[in-house]
Every structure is written in structure tokens, then in C-alpha cells.
A = this chain, B = another copy of it.
């Protein structure tokens, strides 16, 4: 049962691909309040969803805002991350329903924050579409929702390899060193990411020829080593006379405008920038075609950044702030005024007032940015993806974005944004995966080892041991932090082994990913989806099902020699020491304490299931998909449908095939 309610005159976000008829009935479950809805939560209710957000798989106990935000310091008390995903599922004893609010403006979800037993949804705009979905299980609700929003993005097969990133590899030479660091040490790798410094003065679709003089040769040279270079693209275009993108944007009115109709000036990486009006169809087509600049240099993948859009400052705000700072010069700054002074400077970035002071031309209408804020990253990424269909027809291009809104899942993946080298962020990576999967974002993962702050060897190893199960597997760290490439640690062998295991797992990961994408299913599922009657399983948030055959239980505590794992049913534990199986053991239902070394990965095969493993390889192309070793827990026999395809053909020309594996 899907019911669609239209309130006011909502903007068409194109989140929903397959619209159902409007319902004239009363809205079920939710009580209508002045600015939204409320719902009484029962003690046993679990609230799933909300995509990219902090806290648990069960979202109860906090207040979340859908308000795409650049927050690399996010904590437990953060309310908004990079994406805005207004889909949730309430799952209780007696009922299970899903809610999707299709509105590109800010929405607040108070899930038992103000009152422990009340969910309150508050909208900032009176025009929206509301979908209520009702099914027996949360999994069915996800299926129904995904059929509404359309199929998930398919990355090329090589994008399931391991990628290494750093803000930044500043020169072609550094890129070559990173490639060598992996290849010489036999640490598998398929991608090296280029962060902002490959560009000339941070200008989109340029190459810094001083530091990357032979960019095209570098791309080809890496390609010969089985490595793709994946450059970053910024959401802002530098204001610079003579820079073609800037000039074209100005002439054609492709940039967002301020209230007076001038091109809106914001500070981003290059300093003063304009935002391409991604919501203006013409501007979007224009911007998307600019990716050609890199495609024709042999690039086959991109990541779109800063497209919340992040604003370091607006020109006007900066002026005002400098004026206000003057008044503090002569003040006796006490506890009150001192914090005001600090807050003033802090308020320069991503200021809500700035988001209210520029405008889009959306379907021919001038619309203030704050009313469509959450669409910017979506439409930027769509601009590229739609262009790829013309520029590289029939070919899958790797693409993932920092900011997102539901609908964008058809065009690209997302990475989980700028995170930190914290054990808590390792655990959050695990918890975020199923929430994003519910919303259609299947190709996703967090920056392994953490982007900001300094990593430690054990953190990176433990995070790799989780990261090998993420569709998007990338190690990334920020300028000024400790280097964390796998080959730089004392215990390089452990990193090599764990990443090597990823390559053994590839046929299974790819198969499960593609089946989930093609059948509107989930790749990573909470235990509560499989064992809804098991009161322990539904509250277990540090384990997860990956595909149909296995459960994972990563170690996320420093200095832990192992961890307690909960088995909702009898399973077979497989312990890998690096790439090799070191132990297999059937464990009964219940809690088990397992020692897990820093070089080990432990996983659990469900009864009646098979885990096919390849021999491995140092890049995806080397992996032999044919000769698989079948690990299984199948006292009665079992079979497994292994999906495969050429790994490069886009959805329109996709020719997938299933191979039945049997034991």
C-alpha cells in the first residue's frame, strides 16, 4: 500500500520516478500538526531510515534536520550531515509503515528527543508531497519505496576495488609514488583519487600544468598499472577573467543570482566563486558537458564535492563581519562578548542567512535557495550523469557525491562525507550503510582511517577490516594529518592481507551489490530486518548482514583483543588471517566472545548459504571470476546465484547473467 498526498503546490524534485495516484483519504498513522506531523511512539518501536545521519540504525533519541551541511567535525550532537534523506520507517509490534516527505527545503525529525515517546516532523515550507507506505516488514517497505524512486546507480566493476586518496597528492610524482607504494608492496589497488590540488588555482576542469605537466600520460601510465585516477570536482566556479567556464557562465546567466540579480559571490576553495545554477536546466546541461574536459583525457570517474553547497563565506557577510569585528577592538571582552566574538567568526561559514540570499532559476521561476537547498548536490551530480549518457553512451562512469537528496541515487553514489580518525566514526560507518541503502544509495562507504585528525595503525587496520565490505572502499586523509596509506605502517602485511581479502570477496560483493540494485533490495541490512522477532537482534547495531550469505561484526574498540558477537541463529564462523582461511567453526545461537587479531577478519556464514571467494588479485581486472572457492554452511546443501556482467555497460545496455553455484 502506497499513499501519496499532495499539500500545497510542491516543487517537483524528481525524487520520485514512478508516481502513484494522489490519495483523497485521511493521512494514516500520522497526526497533522500546525507545521507537520506527530506520532506516538511505543516503547518497542524502532525508527529506521534518514539515510546519512549520526547516531544509531535506530534513529530514536535525537533530533535530525534535513539540511545538507558541510560538517567535518560531526559528533553525536550533530543534526545535519551532507545529505538530506526524508525517508523513515516506523516498525513496531502491531504496525510497520514508511514515510517519505518530498520537499527540497529543511525538515526536522524529532524522534523522541523532546519527548521520549513522541515523533514530531516539522516542515519549513508548506508545499510538499507525502508518501505513506504500509507493508508487513521494513524490508518490503524499502522495496516499495525503492520502486517509487527508481533504480540505484551502477558503478563500473573496477570501482569495487580499493582506492587511495589524500588531500592532496600535490604532484604527478606523488601520484606515481603512491602507485609504486602499493604495487611494489603487493597491496591491491584500483584507484588513486586526485583532491583539489590537481587543478590550476582550484578551477574546475583545469589541470595545474606545473605540478601535473604530463597529466594525460600519467592517466595512461596508471591505467597500464591497473589504476584509475579519479579527480574531484567542486560545486563553485572561480571568478576569474578569462577563465572560460567563468566567462561562459556570466554571459549565459548560468550562475545563481543575488537579490539584485547579480551573480552571487561566495568564497570556496579558489576564493571568490559563483555557483552554477544546477537547478536551471540549461545551466545544468552546460556544466555537465564540461566533464568532457577530463573524460577526453582518459578519466573514467569523478567525485563531486562541496555541493551542499558549502560556503566558506559570502562576500557580503565577510564585509559585515569585518565591520562588526571593529566594534570588538575597543571592548573589554568578558565571558559573554568573548564568545560572541568567537561565534561571529565561526558564523561566517555555511551561514543560513547566506542560503537565504541567493536565487535559482528553477523551471523558469526565480526561487530562493533556502527553499531548494537540499537539491543542489543532487542536481550538480545529475548534471554530470546526464552528460555522461551523451559523452560516453552505454558506459558506466564512476561518480559519487558528497551532498545528496533522494533521487540522486539514480545518478551516483555518495561517500559518507568528511569524517575523522575516530573509532566512533568507524562504528558510524557501519551504522550509516543500511540507512543509506534504504534510501537507494547503495554505492557508498566512509573514508577509511578517517579524513580529519591523526590515525593510528590499529584504527586503520580495524577500519580496513570493515571497509572491505563497503561497496565504496577508500582510504582518505586530510592535509596536515598523519599519512595513512596502507604501505606506510609498520604492520604493512596486515593491511596487505585485509585489502587482499577484499579482492577475494569481489565476486560476492559485486554480485550482491548488483542484485540489490537491480531488484530494489538492500546490500547491507540491520539484523532486525532478518530476525524481527529476536529482541536482541533488533537492538544489535554493531553487526550487519552483507548480502544474503554473511553477517559481519567488526572490532571498533581500541586495544580490544576481540569482541562479543551475537548470533541470532546457528552460523559458521570463518576466520581469515589476511587472505587465507585460518579457522572455520559452527557456532550456536547466542553471544560469543571471539578473539580477533589486527590482521584478521571474522565473518559468519548463514545456514543454507554459500560464500564464493575468488583467488584474489592486485586489481579488479586480475580477479578470476570463474574459479571460485565455495565456503558454505550447508549441511543440507545450498545454492547461490552469482550475478555477473561485463562490469562496464550502463543500465540501458546491461547484459547481466546469473551463474548458479551449488554445494
Interface residues of A (CB under 8 A from B): 46, 55-56, 58, 60-62, 75-77, 112-113, 115-117, 196, 201-202, 267-272, 312-313, 318, 322, 325, 328-329, 332-335, 337-338, 341-342, 345-346, 348-349, 420-424, 453-454, 456-459, 490-491, 535-536, 539, 541, 557-562, 564, 566, 591-593
Contact = CB atoms under 8 A, between A and B. Distances in A.
A633 to B, nearest CB: 23
B490 A115 contact: yes
A346 B539 CA distance: 41
Contact of A558 (B56, B345, B456, B562): B56
Nearest to A118: B490
Contact of A424 (B424, B457, B592): B424
User: What are the 7 A-B residue pairs with the smallest beta carbon separation, nearest first?
Assistant: A271-B332, A271-B334, A77-B453, A269-B335, A345-B345, A76-B422, A58-B559
Contact of A76 (B46, B335, B423, B458): B423
Contacts of A335: 196, 202, 268-270, 312
B61 A333 contact: no
Contacts of A454: 77
Given A116-B491, A269-B335, A424-B424, 15 more contacts: A56-B557, A60-B559, A61-B558, A75-B453, A77-B422, A116-B456, A116-B490, A201-B334, A267-B332, A267-B333, A270-B334, A271-B334, A318-B333, A539-B559, A539-B560
A592 B536 CA distance: 12
Contact of A338 (B313, B337, B536, B557): B313
Contact of A77 (B342, B421, B457): B421
A55 B558 contact: yes
Contacts of A312: 333, 335, 338
Q: Which of A46, A58, A61, A346 has the most CB of B within 10 A?
A: A61
Contacts of A342: 345-346, 348-349
Given A272-B332, A333-B267, A338-B312, A458 B558 contact: no
Copies of the chain in the assembly: 2
A563 to B, nearest CB: 10
Nearest to A335: B269
B558 A539 contact: no
Contacts of A591: 564, 591-593
24 contacts: A55-B558, A77-B422, A77-B453, A77-B454, A113-B456, A116-B456, A196-B335, A202-B335, A267-B338, A270-B334, A271-B332, A271-B338, A312-B333, A312-B335, A322-B329, A341-B345, A342-B345, A342-B349, A424-B424, A536-B561, A539-B561, A564-B564, A591-B591, A591-B593
A535 B561 CA distance: 9
B75 A269 contact: no
A62 B453 CA distance: 12
Contacts of A75: 75, 420, 422, 453
A593 B312 CA distance: 48
A452 to B, nearest CB: 8
A313 B333 contact: yes
A403 to B, nearest CB: 18
Contacts of A562: 539
Contacts of A560: 539
A561 B55 CA distance: 16
A458 to B, nearest CB: 6
Q: Which of A76, A272, A564 has the most CB of B within 10 A?
A: A76
Nearest to A267: B333
A329 B326 CA distance: 12
A325 to B, nearest CB: 6
A655 to B, nearest CB: 44
A323 B55 CA distance: 42
Contacts of A271: 332-334, 337-338
Q: Which of A61, A77, A329, A560 has the most CB of B within 10 A?
A: A77
A453 B76 CA distance: 10
A562 B538 CA distance: 12
